[in-house]
């Protein structure tokens, strides 16, 4: 496939998103959320390249979000909060990663799930600090020292999310094409061979894990800055399930897949909820079933199929 097709598609998608956000003001919010979740899903995609599914990745999203919520009163600057969220999630990813990369397959998935639920319980039970299930309100934040109005602020965060999404997409693309990224596929097919050629599989996976944690934290930070209210539900297992759902919907074939999936997911949910307030779950479930049955490679699979068809 042409090396330029994906970046070109990304560029077009970016333009479309901006157009949609400009034409329909309230969609700007929904799309920012989609980009934030897409970022976290991109992290899961990395691990999936190594054949590992994390059922607990919303933990890092919650970590990023709570970092923003806790630090915003002291550091009310988005451009400082984001790196801080990245730092915290990287450290957490490293510490947790040291343990979980020893496991594979179902054990890797469940261990992540367990840790994510532990984090949920911590957020919920340490009531005096985290305010429990009611959650914490994120105090107003500045962007580059400016304190713009609501409308401008929404645009700025949306822009920030877009930049981060495109940046991470390119990074992931480059990473997956690098020897480190190729080694991930090696873990999936046969790990022993990797060791034989002198590549430490665990370290390869650990690097991917930390990178994916960082992207989760980044997504969470964006989510907190957008919704301005964080609750422990962010780290609940259903939130992790949602991320995996988005990955299946979008397809794991390309760095564009997660964002495609996230946008589709949020739009379907929002329109389904607007259409039938008490049966939107059924529509969402129907869409996933349809994707699994008719497009097992996800939405990206459909796009890629068309591209290949021409090439």
Partner 1 sequence: MTDAAFTRRAALLGAATAGSLLFAGGKAGAQQRPAELKIGITTFLSGPASVFGVPARQAAEMLFEEINKAGGIGGVPVRAFFVDEGPGTDHLVGEYRRLVQNEGVQLIFASISSGSCLACTPLSDEMRKTTVLWDCGTQRIFEEGPHPFAFRTQGYATPEVLAPLLYLLKHKPDFRSIAVINQDYAWGRDSWEIWKTAMDTLKPGVRVVAEMFPRFGATDYSTEVTRLLAARPDVILSTHWGGDLVTLVRQAAERRLFDRSTFVLPVAEASMQILGRTMPAGHVIGARGDHWNNHPRPKDPERLRRLVEDYRKRYNEYPIYPCHHMAQAISATQAAYAKAIQAKGGGWPNDQELANAFRGLTFDSPTSSITLREDGQGLEDQIVGMSSFNDRFPFAVPKDMVIFPAAMVSTPVGQKSVDWLKTLKPEILAQVPAAIAG
- Applying CB under 8 A, the residues found at the interface with partner 1 are 5, 8-9, 12-13, 16, 19-20, 23-27, 29-30, 33, 124-125, 127, 131-135, 137, 150, 223, 226-231, 233, 266-267, 269-271, 273-274, 277-278, 280-281, 303, 306-307, 309-310
Closer to partner 1 by Cβ: residue 196 or 278: 278
Residues 169 and 255: beta-carbon distance below 8 Å: yes
What is the C-alpha to C-alpha distance for residues 32 and 13, in angstroms, rounded to an integer?
A: 14
Strand segments, DSSP code E, in 119-263 are 136-137, 229-230
CB of 124 to partner 1, least distance (A): 7
Closer to partner 1 by Cβ: residue 105 or 134: 134
Report the alpha-carbon angle 140-230-244, nearest 5: 130
CB of 246 to partner 1, least distance (A): 13
What is the C-alpha to C-alpha distance for residues 117 and 106, in angstroms, rounded to an integer?
A: 16
Residues 49 and 188: beta-carbon distance below 8 Å: yes
CB of 243 to partner 1, least distance (A): 13
Strand segments, DSSP code E, in the chain are 136-137, 229-230
Closer to partner 1 by Cβ: residue 13 or 252: 13
Closer to partner 1 by Cβ: residue 61 or 194: 61
Helix (H/G/I), strand (E/B), else coil: 72: coil
Closer to partner 1 by Cβ: residue 34 or 183: 34
CB of 88 to partner 1, least distance (A): 20
């Amino acid at each position: 496939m042409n090396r330029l097709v994906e970046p070109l598609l990304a560029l077009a998608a970016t333009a479309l998103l901006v157009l949609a956000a400009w034409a329909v003001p309230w969609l700007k919010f929904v799309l920012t959320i989609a980009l934030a979740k897409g970022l976290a899903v991109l992290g899961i995609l990395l691990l999936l390249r190594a054949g590992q599914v994390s059922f607990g990745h919303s933990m890092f999203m919650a970590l990023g979000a709570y970092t923003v919520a806790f630090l915003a009163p002291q550091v009310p600057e988005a451009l400082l909060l984001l790196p801080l969220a990245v730092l915290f999630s990287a450290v957490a990813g490293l510490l947790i990663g040291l343990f979980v990369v020893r496991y594979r397959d179902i054990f890797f998935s469940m261990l992540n799930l367990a840790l994510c639920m532990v984090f949920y319980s911590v957020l919920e039970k340490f009531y005096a600090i985290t305010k429990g299930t009611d959650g914490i309100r994120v105090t107003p934040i500045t962007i580059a020292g400016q304190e713009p109005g609501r409308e401008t602020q929404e645009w700025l965060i949306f822009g920030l999310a877009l930049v981060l999404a495109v940046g991470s997409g390119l990074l992931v693309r480059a990473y997956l094409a690098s020897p480190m990224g190729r080694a991930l596929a090696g873990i999936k097919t046969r790990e022993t061979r990797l060791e034989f050629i002198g590549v430490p599989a665990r370290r390869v996976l650990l690097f991917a894990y930390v990178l994916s944690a960082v992207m989760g934290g980044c997504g969470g930070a964006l989510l907190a800055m957008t919704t301005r209210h964080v609750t422990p539900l962010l780290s609940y297992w259903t939130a992790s399930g949602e991320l995996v759902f988005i990955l299946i919907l979008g397809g794991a074939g390309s760095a564009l897949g997660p964002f495609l999936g996230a946008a589709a997911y949020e739009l379907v949910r929002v329109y389904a909820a607007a259409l039938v307030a008490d049966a939107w779950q059924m529509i969402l479930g129907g869409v996933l079933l349809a994707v699994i049955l008719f497009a097992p490679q996800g939405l990206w699979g459909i796009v890629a199929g068309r591209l290949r068809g021409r090439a």
